[in-house]
Amino acid sequence: MNLLRLLASRLAQALLLVVAVVVLNFALVHAAPGDPVETIAGASGGMSEELKAELRQSYGLDKPLPVQLGVYLSRVARLDLGYSYFFNLPVVDLIGERIPATLLLVLSSVICAFVAGTGIGVLAARKPNGWLSQTITVLSLVGFAAPVFWTGMLLVILFASVLPIFPVAEMRSIDGSDKGLAGVLDVLWHLVLPTFTLSLVYLAHYSRLARASMLEVLGSDFIRTARAKGLADRVVLYKHALRNAILPVVTVLGLQFGNVLAGAILVETVFNWPGLGRLAFESVLRRDYPTILGVLLLSAVVVLVMNLLTDLCYRLVDPRIQKR
Amino acid sequence: MSAVPLSKSAPAAAPVLPVPAAPSPLAEAARMFARNPAAVAGLVLLLAIVLVALIGPLVYAVDPFEIRAAPLTPPLAEDAWLGTDYLGRDVAISLLYGGRATLLVGAVAALLSVAIGITIGALSGYYGGRVDAALSRVTEFFQVLPALLFAMVVVTLFSPSLLTVTLSIGLVSWPGTARLARAEFMKVRDMEFVRAERSIGARDARIIWKVILPNCIAPLVVSATLAIGSAILFEAGLSFLGLGDPNLMSWGMMIGSSRQYVLSSWWAVAIPGAAIFLTVLAVSLIGDGLNDALNPKLRER
């Protein structure tokens, strides 16, 4: 009951933020130098007069700005994000085509980074000055400092010439065994390097976070109590401590989703992964404004959805929150 | 108050002893920093990189976009000791010139983002209530907006130049600093010395900038250092995607333009990337060192 009400208010907030992004898009189109019609069509000159007139009419560009905003908002509300004259497709279809690839990459990276990161962090917390702890410190420095597109390309160099066991580009093999289990395995095989690249950054970060938070929890009274009761070390560590230590990691994970998406844009460009990021890259190169604005809006929606999901996960891990 | 040790009786008259002057906190922090080899190494590395980027192009004044040797010459060749890219541009010269754009954009954008972040966080944390609610919404909005994509849109719409790139990075990367500043201000704003200041009639502006800010500067300095690292990476990412200033060589641009030729000229990708890596590494080593030096609570770790 309470949860439902909370969810509703969260959704309302999220909706407001989405509207704000749409308004921002509208403002950007109008603030950009040049004729808004050309921006909307994503063409720089060379448009036919008929098309111009048609667009002007359908976007109400001859009316005052507030009316134009209204028209724009109602179009977006009907999932009409405009038409990409470069790809010759409605932007919504274009984006819909690319979403699954990006979600696959982002989710697999986040899950890998989360599982491996907390795992390493928890192991390291058992020996705060052991070699694993030292490794984590170094790894988190390296993980932050190495540009994700650079590590990706170093992997491309390595796996394309020296050690050709993983494919370094695209999502599927060209010979097209895309049906059934073979197709799934083929995609997973192509997923290895992009996921590894993207998760490396966050793996280092999460392991450092998990280690610090685990050390903090292990010093608290209820752990001493659990130990005093004579519980097995394993139970104390994984049942009592881990559940509490994982909370800060979940929080950061939720907050960082926008960053992961940014990383995905770069990684997709490196590995030619056919997702939203590569679409954004291609449309930027072609000055295809409707597409890039659509990708921006949709990415904001993805981040919002992920934030909501993190919040729900947080509630699952930490039942105390529901009481508030 | 902490427990007073049980002494028998206080001495009737305490002997007057010369009290050694307490070292200033800043000097103390500098000493801590100097004793941290990793931090010092980071500082030396960063200074070296900045010096080379500043002086190098002056000493060796050429056009980095010029073709200087056969395309795809591997490193250690006589006419290009770090090799050339697919167009025959010298990697060593590009590296020398590319540092300027990368460092300049990184520093200015980080400054901008820290300035915005501290201002918004300070107002939000100090005033609380409706101001906080409104500013937090704005912060949330910028946190939801995928920063890199937004910068890509802005830079494409307003055509890439040093100014648009710097502004767009600064405008999207402040929410982290703002959240930190907000939390710090909330923690400090009701402390006694702040109330004392208020009771003698100090104005809000004075309390915010002169009284509270110096007391929460330590974590903000650390976060500002990290912001420089992030801004450098951000700039590199944008130029990698071909959205840097097209007339200025930068490390990210070198990697991006050689992307298609990576298998025939790995050096044109690996070397500028290593430069970015070392720069950001130096900055974060300094940040870690500052964190240890400015935060005495962490010293035992």
The tens-digit pLDDT sequence of chain B (301 residues) is 444 454 445 555 556 667 777 777 778 888 888 888 889 999 999 999 999 998 888 888 778 887 777 777 777 777 777 888 878 788 888 888 899 889 999 999 999 999 999 999 999 999 999 999 999 999 989 988 888 999 998 998 888 899 999 999 999 999 989 999 999 999 988 889 999 988 998 898 899 998 898 888 888 988 899 899 999 999 999 999 999 888 889 999 999 998 888 888 888 899 999 999 999 999 999 998 888 888 766 544 4
3 state SS of B25: helix
For residue A8, the tally of other CB atoms under 10 A from its CB is 10
CA distance A183 to chain B (A): 27
Contact status of B297 with chain A (Cβ, < 8 Å): no
In DSSP terms, B84 is beta-bridged to B90
Check if B93 contacts A (Cβ < 8 Å).
no
Mutation site, A28, A144, A208, interface B, largest B CB count within 10 A: A144
Q: What is the predicted ipTM?
A: 0.86
pLDDT score, position B11: 52
Question: Are residues B147 and A259, on separate chains, in Cβ contact within 8 Å?
Answer: yes
Calculate how close chain B gets to A137, using CA atoms only, in Å: 11
Cβ distance of B263 and A24 shorter than 8 Å:
no
**Spatial contact of B272 and B94, defined as CB atoms under 8 Å apart:** yes
Whether chain A has a CB inside 8 Å of the CB on B156: the answer is yes
Position B67, amino acid: I
Task: Out of B144, B149, B229, name the one closest to residue A17 (CB).
Answer: B144
pTM to 2 decimal places: 0.87
Per-residue pLDDT, averaged over A135-153, amounts to: 89
Here the tokens at position B33 are 């920093």
- Record: contact A145-B243, CB cut-off 8 A: no
- Contact check, Cβ <8 Å, B156/A146: no
Q: Whole-angstrom Cα distance, residue A189 to residue A172?
A: 9
Q: Which residues of A touch B283 (CB under 8 A)?
A: 145
The alpha carbon of residue B197 is apart from the nearest alpha carbon of chain A, in Å, by 36
Residue B259 and residue A161: Cβ atoms within 8 Å?
no
Number of alpha carbons in the 13 Å side-chain half-sphere of residue A251 = 9
B259/A39 Cβ within 8 A:
no
- How many CB atoms are located within 10 Å of the residue A141 CB? 20
Top residue of A10, A149, A257, A307 to mutate, by most chain B CBs within 10 Å, is A149
